[in-house]
Amino acid sequence: MATITLELFELKNICMDMAELGAAACERKRSPALDEIKQREAFRWLKSLGYEPKLLSELEQAGLIHKKRKGTAINSPLIYSKFELQAALNTLRMGQYVNKLKNTQP
């Protein structure tokens, strides 16, 4: 059985990320329409969090998020779920902790 060692601030960050994700899930259930975010807004949101806009397409290619078109026209806006985006970002952060642990274990 492997032992996982985390710094206290890492554990705090994990708890905060999961609480934030829980709040997003609750909001999604309460008001599904408010969970939708247009592609341009998603780019802005990622940028405000310090990520490059290309991360959106990388998350999509990895299968962590899915876009849908709001309407049938070819120029209808692309819509993402804020909850899915938050879950994907949390997955990336957790991956950093796990990969750090893999690199430090013999």
Dihedral sign of CA atoms 39, 45, 48, 53 in order: negative
pTM: 0.81
User: How many angstroms separate the CA atoms of 90 and 88, rounded?
Assistant: 5
Give me the long-range contacts of 31-39 (CB less than 8 A, separation at least 24). Answer: 35/81, 35/82, 35/83, 36/70, 36/79, 36/80, 36/81, 36/82, 37/79, 37/80, 37/81, 37/82, 37/85, 38/77, 38/78, 38/79, 38/80, 39/67, 39/77, 39/78, 39/79, 39/80
- pLDDT tens for 8-59 read 988 898 899 999 999 999 999 999 989 999 999 999 999 999 999 899 999 9
Dump pLDDT digits (tens) for 82-93: 999 999 999 988
Tokens of 79: 């819509």
